[in-house]
Amino acid sequence: MIAPSRRSEHLLTLTLVSAAGVALLAAGTTWVASEQERTAERVAHSNEVLTHVSSTRTWVAEIQNAYRGFALTGSEHFLRSPGDPVEGLHAEVATLKELTADNPEQQSRLRDLDAALQPFVATGQQIVAARRSDGLEAAQAIIGGETRSSQVTRLGEVLDALDGDERRLLASRGDAHRTRLYGFWWVLALLVAAVATTLHILYGLARRGQAEQKTFLESEQRFHILARSVVDYAIFLLDREGHVVSWSAGAEKITGYSAKAILGRHFSVFYPSEDVESGKPARELKTAAAQGRVEEEGWRLRADGTRYCSNVVITALRDEAGELTGFGKVTRDLTERKVAEKRLLDEVEERRTIEGRLRELNDNLERLVSERTAELTAANVRITSARQETQALTLRLIAAQEDERRRLSRELHDGIGGALTLIRLQLASALRSDVKRAERIEECVRTLDGAVKQLRSVARNLRPAVLDDLGLADALQALLEQQAEAAGWTSEFKCDGIPSRLSTDVETMCYRICQEALSNAARHARARNIDVALQRDGGQVELVIADDGNGFDYASLQTPAAKQKHFGLVSMKERATLAGGTFDVRTVPGRGTRIRVCFPLPA
């Protein structure tokens, strides 16, 4: 459909074209009339020239007849009837000169005529003079002579040429006139055709314009009815700058503005202040103008200042020429939907949180179960290996017990048994001889003393009496001094902050560990100095045995094979562990050995 402004432009153009056509038509007609008139004048002029040429010819014939008549009759009457023909001839020639003053060609012809007339007239006068003086024959001789005849022929030629030129001019003027006239008629025909076509188009446009106008008005009406009846959407129009130019019931329902209150106001009143400050309304119009339309969801303001969530579509409106005429705006209130969506989202979020928590709990539970399982498995492994170790220890204890029994049996048999046998033999020998009895009894006493000493040593080894009598500190000091003396070490014993008595188990363990450590130092260390310290370390009692001997590689002794072979360090650790304590060896080859055991003190 052609927009009204566009259509009126077409109409104006076509009207101007038609007016120009009519004006041209009028001008053309005037021109043709004047051309006709000018051509008629020229034709009349040429005819006049031809008439005078013909008259000139007549005058020449008249003169010729006058001279002939005079020559025949001698009557002067011929020379003056009705007047002097020579004057008449000159008058005609003068008229011709006047008539052809603007034609150089004819002027030249007339000069030829003058030149031809001169001898003609002069010869005439000779004829008259010869008739008067010499009679008819002399005059007739001149008239019938060669000269006169050539003069007359020449005059005829010049007049023919004049006549011919004028006739050609007349013909050429007629041709030019016809050509112009034909051209004019063509132009006129074209003009008439153009004007007719233009009028036809104008008529068509006017008809179409009316039809389109009708359709446009109908569609406008339909649109307004639709816009008025839709109440769930705010449908309205903005001008190019964004001012509201139409309003609908839906728009009033959603925004709360009446048509009277909003028409003519800028549509940015619907936007919250932060959007207006950031230039959002203008930006949306710009985008709609550039891309055809813009759609957006966001918060808008009602007339009472409350906010509502809306879906907005702004469409750029253009005429047929693509010129932006304004914007159509359709707004939908999404607040209820948004609230429902938010509720749903909150529920989903809540469910997700609960699920997450459940998953977390589940994961924790699974982790705990797997940790506990791993712990139980490890504990099981530890129990199994402890059981195996205990079994091995029991076996080793049994073996050690057997060794100890064997040693005791050997010591009792070889030592005390032997001593008692010797004492029996000495006593029997003393009974049999009186001589040297006292000496023998003395020997018996010495042997008995040795046996008692051996017995005490065995007894001390089995359970050191000093431990029961004096307590751990003194027992350890006695043990150290005894061993140091035997091995030739220097030694120091330190005791600090220890209660006078500890539990029997702890005292026994400490004593046995110290016994084994000192025994190792004596056997393997090549030490010069041994220090033993028994002291309190927080809530526990600490026993440290340190030598300055050659040390050893403790890690290499941790293999099962080595443990089977070397029992001292293993048994020290087991004793400490059994009594609820800890055992620790620090030794570097070449830099001495430090053994530390700790037992918790009773609370």
Ligand X SMILES: Nc1ncnc2c1ncn2[C@@H]1O[C@H](COP(=O)(O)OP(=O)(O)O)[C@@H](O)[C@H]1O
Minimum CB–partner distance for residue 517 and Mg ion (Å): 9
169 binds ligand X (CB under 6 A): no
User: Which partner, Mg ion, ligand X, none, binds residue 552 by CB below 5 to 8 Å per kind?
Assistant: ligand X
Minimum CB–partner distance for residue 520 and ligand X (Å): 3
407 binds ligand X (CB under 6 A): no
Minimum CB–partner distance for residue 509 and ligand X (Å): 16
User: Which partner, Mg ion, ligand X, none, binds residue 547 by CB below 5 to 8 Å per kind?
Assistant: ligand X
Query: Of the two residues 7 and 594, which places its CB atom closer to ligand X in the complex?
Result: 594
2-10, 40-48, 216-224, 562-570 -> range binding ligand X (CB under 6 A): 562-570
587 binds Mg ion (CB under 5 A): no
Residue choice 111, 307, 410, 566 for contact with ligand X (CB under 6 A): 566
Strand, coil or helix: 190: helix
Rounded Cα distance between 10 and 198, Å, is 11
> Which residues in 483-542 contact ligand X (CB under 6 A)?
520-521, 523-525
520 binds Mg ion (CB under 5 A): yes
Minimum CB–partner distance for residue 487 and Mg ion (Å): 14
547 binds ligand X (CB under 6 A): yes
483 binds Mg ion (CB under 5 A): no
308 binds ligand X (CB under 6 A): no
- Number of residues engaging Mg ion in binding (CB under 5 A): 2
User: How many other CB atoms are there within 10 angstroms of residue 466's CB atom?
Assistant: 16
Going from the C-alpha of 395 to that of each of 120, 388, 564, 575, the distances in angstroms are 192, 10, 11, 15
Minimum CB–partner distance for residue 468 and Mg ion (Å): 25
Structural contact between residues 512 and 479, judged by C-beta atoms closer than 8 angstroms? no
Residue 507: closest CA among 456, 458, 469, 546: 469
Rounded Cα distance between 159 and 149, Å, is 16
Query: Of the two residues 85 and 549, which places its CB atom closer to ligand X in the complex?
Result: 549
Residue 571: closest CA among 403, 410, 411: 403
Residue choice 67, 70, 552, 599 for contact with ligand X (CB under 6 A): 552
- Per-position b or e across 106-122, b if 16+ CB within 10 A of its CB: beebbebbeebbebbbe
577 contact partners, CB below 8 Å, separation of at least 6: 583
User: Which partner, ligand X, Mg ion, none, binds residue 359 by CB below 5 to 8 Å per kind?
Assistant: none
Q: Provide the residue type at 107 as one letter.
A: Q
In the β-sheet with 582-587, what is the strand arrangement from edge to edge? 490-496, 529-537, 540-547, 593-600, 582-587
Helix axes 136-143, 4-73, angle to 10 degrees: 150
Q: Provide the residue type at 526 as one letter.
A: R
* Sequential DSSP letters for 15-69: HHHHHHHHHHHHHHHHHHHHHHHHHHHHHHHHHHHHHHHHHHHHHHHHHHHHHHH
- Number of residues engaging ligand X in binding (CB under 6 A): 16
The one-character DSSP state at 433 is -
568 binds Mg ion (CB under 5 A): yes
Rounded Cα distance between 596 and 585, Å, is 6
549 binds ligand X (CB under 6 A): yes
x-or-dash pattern for ligand X, window 221-240, by CB under 6 A?
--------------------
Residue 267: closest CA among 286, 243, 287: 243
Token code pair at residue 393: 């220890």
308 contact partners, CB below 8 Å, separation of at least 6: 254, 299, 300, 301, 302, 333, 334, 335
Token code pair at residue 314: 């702004």
Token code pair at residue 56: 């000139």
Minimum CB–partner distance for residue 585 and ligand X (Å): 8
The one-character DSSP state at 296 is E
User: Which partner, Mg ion, ligand X, none, binds residue 525 by CB below 5 to 8 Å per kind?
Assistant: ligand X
Minimum CB–partner distance for residue 566 and Mg ion (Å): 7
Query: Of the two residues 384 and 401, which places its CB atom closer to Mg ion in the complex?
Result: 401
154-162, 231-239, 491-499, 550-558 -> range binding ligand X (CB under 6 A): 550-558
Residue choice 256, 298, 418, 568 for contact with ligand X (CB under 6 A): 568
Using CB positions, name the residue nearest to Mg ion: 568
Minimum CB–partner distance for residue 440 and Mg ion (Å): 43
Minimum CB–partner distance for residue 424 and Mg ion (Å): 38
Using CB positions, name the residue nearest to ligand X: 568
Phi/psi at 567 (5° precision): -105, -20
Element (H, E) at 533: strand 529-537
Query: Of the two residues 273 and 556, which places its CB atom closer to ligand X in the complex?
Result: 556
User: Which partner, Mg ion, ligand X, none, binds residue 524 by CB below 5 to 8 Å per kind?
Assistant: ligand X
Interacting residues toward Mg ion by CB under 5 A: 520, 568
Interacting residues toward ligand X by CB under 6 A: 520-521, 523-525, 547, 549-552, 557, 566-569, 593
